[in-house]
């Protein structure tokens, strides 16, 4: 696989790179007409919402949701987290078990901001009870979980939004609309650059805090003694619960890559994958590699590299010193036969100003427009339409990350059928589309 890498000379030759936080005037003018999410006018118009998983992200999501609905219940298996959240929502009823919380009288929707290994169990239970769901990304722990979830959401007809909120950010939408309308000529290569993870350890077990139900926190994952670094916040750097920054940031940037690629959702995935860690984890430390790269190839001939870049104080990376600055940053780079676009939070750049500044007068494709991810969820609760990042979108995007993680674990090229969602030939890889679940969390009635 030979990714199209821009040389520094070519980068500098693009005399005036259109860059910065400002959006082109024509796009701003169009975006002015985007309908704003509807703010409820009366108390009856505000859905009753439960927050399940009261960490930093859950509390932030609940704050956004409280513009459109009422947070009537909060749920966490750590009393300390509940205490903190109760200050934000004093009237909300407290629950320690999500099953009790789902039974809260009159509950309409949930926000699921638990760690990744808990997302699917809770989402399935909620969907089967007819609740609408805003679930944090990465949507699932495994590809098999995603397949089950997509089926369940379809069967129940619930409204489901995945928290990959870059889809509701104007800069990412502009980049994708330009790419899909041929502004770069033929799309050739995508680079998604993610921050490196921490390279820490070994860590020692200790007594869990008295406020925390460690057994329940582990859920379907292997039962092991409590280690602080495995739990709140840093769970994402352990294979047992997640797949490092590949699923954490990858659920954002690879989601944009798939959006820009423009494959039909039922075929949205690579046909081949190869990935490697750049540094092995420390034994007894964070178990997902801090630095890595993955190469994907799609059926339409486009190639894609997803890799870590050095972050301040990070653990380093192997990068071609000639790569242009745009490629060094956390974000998404689309390269086509006629130029490139780099987009990240707060910034969009292109190889020539005209790529961004010339209006897209004739579109062959228009993006789903949402400028407010949480608002879009509540609008869809009313309209019963699919949100911008529904379960299938979230599943396909995180599958790309899971496929990369499996390739890194196995260290050999893999062949994948995106329409069948199966590996071809490789039995060991096929086993990794699911995971062995701990007794007590495997025959759960929500698993189906």
Ligand X SMILES: NC(=O)c1ccc[n+]([C@@H]2O[C@H](COP(=O)([O-])OP(=O)(O)OC[C@H]3O[C@@H](n4cnc5c(N)ncnc54)[C@H](O)[C@@H]3O)[C@@H](O)[C@H]2O)c1
For binding to ligand X (CB under 6 A), which residues are involved? 52-58, 75-78, 81, 98, 113-116, 118, 136-137, 163, 165, 216-217, 219, 232-233, 235, 248
- Nearer residue to ligand X within complex by CB, 118 or 416: 118
CB of residue 212 to ligand X, shortest distance in Å: 7
Helix/strand/coil for 174: helix
**CA neighbor of 318 nearest in space, from 309, 329, 330:** 309
- Nearer residue to ligand X within complex by CB, 75 or 294: 75
CA angle 319, 395, 407 (to 5 degrees): 40
Instruction: Report the distance separating Cα 16 and Cα 4, nearest Å.
Output: 21
CB of residue 324 to ligand X, shortest distance in Å: 27
Structure-token pair, residue 92: 């909300």
Structure-token pair, residue 336: 């086509």
CB of residue 224 to ligand X, shortest distance in Å: 16
- Nearer residue to ligand X within complex by CB, 115 or 336: 115
Residue 277 near residue 404, CB atoms below 8 Å:
no
Structure-token pair, residue 335: 């390269």
CB of residue 438 to ligand X, shortest distance in Å: 13
Instruction: Report the distance separating Cα 58 and Cα 118, nearest Å.
Output: 14
Helices (H) and strands (E) counted in the chain, each on its own, are 16, 15
- Nearer residue to ligand X within complex by CB, 54 or 380: 54
Residue whose Cβ sits closest to ligand X: 55
- Nearer residue to ligand X within complex by CB, 178 or 388: 388
Instruction: Report the distance separating Cα 94 and Cα 79, nearest Å.
Output: 9
- Nearer residue to ligand X within complex by CB, 137 or 171: 137
Instruction: Report the distance separating Cα 448 and Cα 433, nearest Å.
Output: 17
Instruction: Report the distance separating Cα 174 and Cα 50, nearest Å.
Output: 33
- DSSP H helical ranges for 267-307: none
Q: How many residues does the chain have?
A: 448
Q: How many CB atoms lie within 10 A of CB 179?
A: 26
Structure-token pair, residue 45: 């118009």
Helix/strand/coil for 6: coil
CB of residue 217 to ligand X, shortest distance in Å: 5
CB of residue 165 to ligand X, shortest distance in Å: 6
Burial class (CB in 10 A: 0-12, 13-18, 19+), 67: middle
- Nearer residue to ligand X within complex by CB, 351 or 376: 376
- Nearer residue to ligand X within complex by CB, 144 or 213: 213
Q: How many CA atoms lie within 13 A of 46 on its CB side?
A: 15
- Nearer residue to ligand X within complex by CB, 81 or 108: 81
- Nearer residue to ligand X within complex by CB, 245 or 327: 245
Element (H, E) at 255: helix 250-261
Burial class (CB in 10 A: 0-12, 13-18, 19+), 159: buried
**CA neighbor of 53 nearest in space, from 237, 207, 219:** 219
CB of residue 140 to ligand X, shortest distance in Å: 10
CB of residue 10 to ligand X, shortest distance in Å: 33
Instruction: Report the distance separating Cα 294 and Cα 194, nearest Å.
Output: 11
- Nearer residue to ligand X within complex by CB, 331 or 418: 331
CB of residue 143 to ligand X, shortest distance in Å: 17
Residue 252 near residue 166, CB atoms below 8 Å:
yes
CB of residue 61 to ligand X, shortest distance in Å: 8
Residue written as token pair 């007809």: 157
CB of residue 267 to ligand X, shortest distance in Å: 26
- Nearer residue to ligand X within complex by CB, 14 or 290: 290
Residues 6+ apart with CB under 8 A from 60: none
CB of residue 373 to ligand X, shortest distance in Å: 9
């Amino acid at each position: 696989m030979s990714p199209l890498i821009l040389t520094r000379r070519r980068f500098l030759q693009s005399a005036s790179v259109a860059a910065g936080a400002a959006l082109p005037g024509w796009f701003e003018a169009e975006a002015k007409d985007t309908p704003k999410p509807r703010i409820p006018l009366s108390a009856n118009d505000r859905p009753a919402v439960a927050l399940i998983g009261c960490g930093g992200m859950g509390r932030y999501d609940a704050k956004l949701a409280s513009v459109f609905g009422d947070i009537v219940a909060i749920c966490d298996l750590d009393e300390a987290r509940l205490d903190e959240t109760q200050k934000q929502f004093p009237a909300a009823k407290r629950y320690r078990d999500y099953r009790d919380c789902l039974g809260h009288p009159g509950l309409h929707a949930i926000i699921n901001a638990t760690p990744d290994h808990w997302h699917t169990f809770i989402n399935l239970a909620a969907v089967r009870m007819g609740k609408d769901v805003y679930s944090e990304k990465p949507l699932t722990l495994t590809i098999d979980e995603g397949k089950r979830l997509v089926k369940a959401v379809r069967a129940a007809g619930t409204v489901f939004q995945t928290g990959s909120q870059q889809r509701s950010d104007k800069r990412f939408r502009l980049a994708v609309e330009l790419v899909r309308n041929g502004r770069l000529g033929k799309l050739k290569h995508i680079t998604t650059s993610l921050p490196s993870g921490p390279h820490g350890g070994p860590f020692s077990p200790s007594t869990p805090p008295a406020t925390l139900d460690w057994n329940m926190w582990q859920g379907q994952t292997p039962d092991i003694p409590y280690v602080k670094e495995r739990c709140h916040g840093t769970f994402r750097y352990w294979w047992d619960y997640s797949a490092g920054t590949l699923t954490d940031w990858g659920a954002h940037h690879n989601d944009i890559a798939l959006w820009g690629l423009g494959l039909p959702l039922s075929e949205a995935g690579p046909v081949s994958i190869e990935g490697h860690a750049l540094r092995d984890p420390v034994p007894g430390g964070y178990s997902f590699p801090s630095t890595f790269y993955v190469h994907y190839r799609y059926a339409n001939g486009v190639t894609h590299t997803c890799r870590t870049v050095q972050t301040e104080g990070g653990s380093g990376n192997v990068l071609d010193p000639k790569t242009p600055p745009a490629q060094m940053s956390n974000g998404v780079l689309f390269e086509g036969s006629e130029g490139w676009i780099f987009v990240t939070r707060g910034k969009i750049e292109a190889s020539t100003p005209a790529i961004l500044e010339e209006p897209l007068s004739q579109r062959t494709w228009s993006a789903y427009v949402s400028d407010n991810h949480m608002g879009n969820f509540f609008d869809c609760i009313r309209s019963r339409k699919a949100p911008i990042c529904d379960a299938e979108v979230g599943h396909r995007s995180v599958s790309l990350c899971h496929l990369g993680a499996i390739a890194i674990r196995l260290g050999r090229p893999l062949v994948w059928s995106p329409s069948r969602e199966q590996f071809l030939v490789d039995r060991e890889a096929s086993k990794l589309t699911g995971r062995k679940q701990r007794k007590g969390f495997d025959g759960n009635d929500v698993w189906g």
